[in-house]
């Protein structure tokens, strides 16, 4: 039997459906009532229902989920929040089998937890503990909370709706990638952890270096953003990383050498 808290939990999960997103768009776009929006939704299903199934196929181990958009403020209710469709890798034999052999079931679950949270974030979405426990892993929420605590103790950042809220604002995935680089992670490792190509990671780090060099030359953030061809916000994040992140000696040395070369060429 479901208790009241369980009913509330499933109600929260139900609010993340595409049907709910459609109704929100109808209500806000046409200024109609929830009853009228529901009637419109029923008509769409009746007329187009047979065409909703597509031939699009996903690779083995991957599946689609509807999650809350990373663009919306965590203060906005789940019912009103924008939703996005993301593709998550539930199982990857190439990675998962070896992880389980080395660390057992707990380590495998934590590995998958990191992967799906990063995948969702890179596609503009944010998972919640409820999503992971009830919709994906089918385990207790306490289990996921315990996994997250252990990962935090290891210094592993897992982007969730709750953690983004605690951070005050959403960091771009580019900043997260650069953050891993200044901590000493290699391109191939970062690419694997964030589901990016090595060339993309290299490009983000290159722009970070450019932003730091321009900052050292005395340029303001608006000019830096223009010259590096990034948004003002991303330029600010890059500068903040350089100013406040714990940069390992090897990366610090690499940045210092870059700045010395730039000065010698001027």
Question: Measured between alpha carbons, how far is 43 from 26 in angstroms, rounded to an integer?
Answer: 13
With CA atoms as reference, report the closest residue to 133 among 149, 119, 144.
144
Has residue 222 got a pLDDT over 80? Answer: yes
pLDDT at 158 (0 to 100): 82
Check pLDDT > 60 for residue 51. Answer: no
pLDDT-derived band at 113 (thresholds 50, 70, 90) equals: very high
29: left (phi over 0), alpha (psi -120 to 50) or beta: alpha
pLDDT in tens, 227-244: 888 778 788 889 999 998
Q: Identify which of 150, 152, 115 has the alpha carbon closest to the alpha carbon of residue 132.
A: 115
- What is the percent of the chain where pLDDT is above 90? 25
CA-CA-CA-CA torsion sign (21, 24, 28, 32): positive
pTM for the full model?
0.54
């Amino acid at each position: 039997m479901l208790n009241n808290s369980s009913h509330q939990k499933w109600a929260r999960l139900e609010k993340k459906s595409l049907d709910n997103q459609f109704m929100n768009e109808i209500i806000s776009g046409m200024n109609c009532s929830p009853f009228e929006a529901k009637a419109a939704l029923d008509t769409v299903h009746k007329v187009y229902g047979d065409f909703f199934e597509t031939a699009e196929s996903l690779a083995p181990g991957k599946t689609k989920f509807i999650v809350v958009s990373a663009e919306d403020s965590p203060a906005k209710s789940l019912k009103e929040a924008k939703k996005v469709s993301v593709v998550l890798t539930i199982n990857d034999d190439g990675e998962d089998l070896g992880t389980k052999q080395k660390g057992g079931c707990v380590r495998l679950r934590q590995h998958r937890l990191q992967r799906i949270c990063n995948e969702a974030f890179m596609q503009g979405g944010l998972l919640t503990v409820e999503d992971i426990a009830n919709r994906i892993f089918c385990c207790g929420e306490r289990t996921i909370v315990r996994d997250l605590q252990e990962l935090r103790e290891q210094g592993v950042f897992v982007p969730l709706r709750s953690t983004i809220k605690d951070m005050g604002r959403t960091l771009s995935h580019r900043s997260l990638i650069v953050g891993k680089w200044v901590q000493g992670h290699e391109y191939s490792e970062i690419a694997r952890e964030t589901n990016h190509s090595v060339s993309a990671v290299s490009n983000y780090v290159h722009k970070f270096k450019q932003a730091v060099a321009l900052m050292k030359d005395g340029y303001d953030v608006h000019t830096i953003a223009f010259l590096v061809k990034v948004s003002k916000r991303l330029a600010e994040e890059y500068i903040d990383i350089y100013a406040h992140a714990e940069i390992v000696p090897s990366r610090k040395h690499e940045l210092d050498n870059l700045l010395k070369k730039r000065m010698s060429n001027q």
